[in-house]
Amino acid sequence: MNLNQIGNVGVLNGNVTITPKDSLGINNPTLINDLDPGLYNIKENYDDGAIKENVIFKEN
């Protein structure tokens, strides 16, 4: 086990595009179907400071 990791620890992909969406966009039932193929990290930020995080790998 390497406890002294170097680089982008915890980063899914260094080539990142950030596209913020409001609650209507995140709760859209066709959100996943409308995404282009790729790896997505969806974070929902709540007023109490909690964060819900989902990782989605979308194929064709």
**25 near 31, Cβ under 8 Å?**
yes
DSSP assignment of 8-30:
-TT-S-SS-------HHHHT-TT
Amino acid type, 19:
T
pLDDT tens figures, 1-15: 445 555 555 666 566
Query: In the numeric block, which tokens belong to residue 48?
Result: 């109490």
pLDDT of residue 48: 93
- Domain edges within the chain: 23-58
CA distance 4 to 50: 28
Query: For a pLDDT cut of 70, what percent of the chain falls above it?
Result: 57
pLDDT of residue 28: 74
pTM of the model: 0.49
